[in-house]
Amino acid sequence: MRPAKRTTPARPLPPKQAHKAQKGGCVRVKIEGCPKNLAPSKKPPTHPHRPTHPPFAHPPFAHSRKRIEGGRAVFDVTLPKPLGITPRNFPNRPGVGIAGIKPGATPDLYNKKVLLQDAPGMFVLEGDEVVAVNGTLCEGQDLQNVSQLVKESEGDTLTLKLVRNYLTGPVKIIWKPSLKMATYKRGAILRACEETLGANVRYSCEDGWCSSCWHAEEHYMTVYRICKMSVPDKWDNIMPFVLLSALEVKNTKGTLVGELGPAGDINSL
C-alpha cells in the first residue's frame, strides 16, 4: 500500500493582490500597487534629440489682444510722445493705417522691448489700422481727422487702439542670434529678406540641401531652407516669425536643426 500523497498548503496571495478564477483553470491576477520603478511614467520619456525647451503651449501675446470677426485682432498700445510713425490713408478703403515706423523712434524702441526683451504688451506692425486715439473712436476716418486727434491729445503719452489683419497683413521677421528684424510681405523670399538686413546667414550650395542656411522657426520648431523658401502665406502675424540659426537651435533648444520637421507641415495649416 502506497503512502498517502503529501500535500503542501497553499500560500496566501500577497496583500494588494486580487485573483479571480477563470474558465479552464486560469487565474487572473490584478496588481493594485507596484513599485515605483515599474510603475508607468506619467510623462512619456524624453527623446534624446527632442528640444529641451518645447515650443510655446499657447501663442505669445495671448493676453495682449482680442480676436474679432473678419480675421482681425484688436489691441491697445501706450507710447510716449512724439510717436515717430508714418500714418497713411488706406488706398482701397476708408481708414488710416501705420505705413512706417522710423528707426530709433518710440514705437521702434517699444517693439524691441516687447519682441527681444519679453516686455508685456503687443508690438506695433506696419499695416495696423488706427481705430481709436486715447479712447476716441476714429475707425474709417481719414488722415486729417486722425492726425487732429493726435495733435489735440493731452499728456506725455498716447494710447492707440489698433486693428490687425492677422492672416493677410505683413509679417515681422526676427533673426537669431543677430536679433536683426524687419517687416516683410507674405511670400517674400527669405534669402532676399536676410540679405537686406545682413543677418549673417551662410549659403554653400545651389539646391538648398547642404544645410548651411537652414533655420528653425521658434514657435513650431520646423526647418526653413533660407536660400529656397519664402515667408509663409498662412502665418498668424499676431506672432513674430522668429528664425533660429542651426547653432542657436543647438545652444538654446538642445537639438540639431537637421533632426526637426520640415516647414511644409506648418505652411499647410
Q: Tell me if 238 sits within 8 A of 164, measured CB to CB.
A: yes
Q: What is the DSSP-derived secondary structure letter of residue 11?
A: P
User: What tens-digit pLDDT sequence spans the chain (269 residues)?
Assistant: 555 555 555 454 444 444 443 443 333 333 233 333 333 333 333 333 333 333 333 445 555 689 999 999 999 999 999 999 999 999 999 999 999 999 999 999 999 999 999 999 999 999 999 999 999 999 999 999 999 999 999 999 999 999 999 999 999 999 999 999 999 999 999 999 999 999 989 888 776 678 889 999 999 999 999 999 999 999 999 999 999 999 999 988 888 888 787 776 444 33
How many CB atoms are closer than 10 A to CB 2? 4
| Burial class of 120 by CB neighbour count within 10 A (0 to 12, 13 to 18, 19+) | exposed
pTM assigned to the model: 0.73
CA distance linking residue 197 with residue 205, whole number of Å: 21
Which residues make Cβ contacts (< 8 Å) with residue 164, sequence separation at least 6?
65, 72, 73, 74, 75, 125, 127, 128, 129, 237, 238
Which three three-digit cell numbers place residue 65? 489682444
**Which residues does residue 230 pair with via DSSP β-bridges, in sequence order?**
189
* Among 157, 102, 89, residue whose Cα is nearest residue 129: 89
CA distance linking residue 229 with residue 187, whole number of Å: 9
Domain 171-267 in CATH 3.30.70.20? The answer is no
Beta strand ranges found along 113-218 (DSSP E)? 129-133, 136-137, 157-165, 171-176, 180-184, 214-217
The upper half-sphere exposure of residue 53, i.e. CA atoms within 13 Å in the direction of its Cβ, equals 10
The CATH number of 66-165 is 2.30.42.10
List the domain boundaries for the chain. Answer: 66-165, 171-267
